[in-house]
Structure 1
Amino acid sequence: MANHPPSHYLDIGQQGEDLVTQWLQSTGWLILHRRFSCRWGEIDIIAQYQGGEGGKRGQGGQGGQGRQHSALITQHSTLAFVEVKTRSSGNWDAGGRDAITPQKQAKLWRTAEMFLNQYPENAEYPCRFDVAIVGYQQISKLKTQITSTQDAVFSASIGDYKFFLEEYIPAAFDL
């Protein structure tokens, strides 16, 4: 196994986040922020889904109509704080699942609160914490190893690597 420079791992993580961002956008999510950071930590992706009739932003209208429209948007919209874990096969932490400890969850919760304080227009939306598990392999190794990318939710080849969204877990944890 090759020893990669530390910058290699950052690039791999960013590619995993890019894959999840593409998938979220393809399924109707609007990406509000990438790598939001504050003193508590970082949130990889912050996305908003606007489902149903109320999700379409239209003309607010006059008087009570604007308030009704705003209530519809809130009722049908969701804000997701997405933690992305990108791992190669055979890693030590179950594809990143074991890395989301109660301490990590608390940091994400505090970071999300900071985001909502900084962007109060998003504070009215129901919020949840999602986890995306992304796997990757070098393309040259795909031919020699048995890899089940057919079960992947979404996949893409980037450079010398194949990335695949193995699992997307909505509302993965609650504090």
Structure 2
Amino acid sequence: MTANLTVGALAEDFVALWLEAHRYTVLERRWHCRWGELDIIAQSPPFHSGDLPTVVFVEVKARRRQNWDANGLLAITAQKQAKLWQTAQLFLTEHPEWADCPCRFDVALVSYRSLLARQSQPSSIKAPPAIAIESGVFVPLGDYQFCLHHYIPAAFE
């Protein structure tokens, strides 16, 4: 696995832990089809009893600090959104149990920094408890530290 793939996968792990800490249920991770990939598919907690759960498609963008594209936000172009829509439609076709639920697309903007410069060997740090993950705080995961800069619910329609 290349460093970028490792960082991306760990950032998705980090966001999945954050979602679970906020009472979401993660349904799928890295779901692939011919149109592309959905990073995380989750079910949000219902607002009122009796409400259908909302299916949330979460796009995770991980960037080092001082990046050129607003922490990944500028990478979610209209073309990228169209691909995510197509991919989500295919997911719902293949999972009819979720087809009648309301859906939305969220974006998680994550910063990371390497821990390897601070130590001589790769770390064996385990994932932190989900309750320890807070927005704006760097948390160690693998050989990196991650920080959820911004979580944008219903980022695009």
TM-score by length of 1: 0.75
Q: Would you identify which runs of 4 or more consecutive aligned residues in structure 1 move more than 3 Å?
A: 139-142, 151-155
Distance 1:34 1:140 in 2: 27
In proportion to residue count, which structure has more helix?
1
Deviation of 1:141 (Å) = 6.5
Deviation of 1:94 (Å) = 1.3
In the alignment, is residue 49 of structure 1 matched against residue 48 of structure 2? no
Structure 1 match to 2:152: 169
Q: Deviations over 1:36-81 (max 9, x none)?
A: 1111111100000132453xxxxxxxxxxxxxxxxx242xx21100
Find the partner of 1:13 among 8, 13, 19: 8
TM-score by length of 2: 0.83
Structure 2 match to 1:134: 110
Q: Aligned with 2:12: secondary structure?
A: helix
Find the partner of 2:34 among 25, 39, 54: 39
Gap change, CA 1:50 and 1:159, over 3 Å in 2: closer
Amino acid of the structure 2 residue aligned with 1:9: N
Gap change, CA 1:97 and 1:118, over 3 Å in 2: same
Find the partner of 1:104 among 58, 64, 80: 80
Deviation of 1:139 (Å) = 3.5
Distance 2:16 2:89 in 1: 22
Distance 2:153 2:64 in 1: 22
Distance 1:133 1:141 in 2: 23
Answer yes or no: is the 8 Å Cα contact 1:84–1:131 preserved in 2: yes
Count of paired positions: 142
Give the RMSD, CA atoms, in angstroms: 1.9
Q: Which has the larger radius of gyration?
A: 1
Identity %: 49
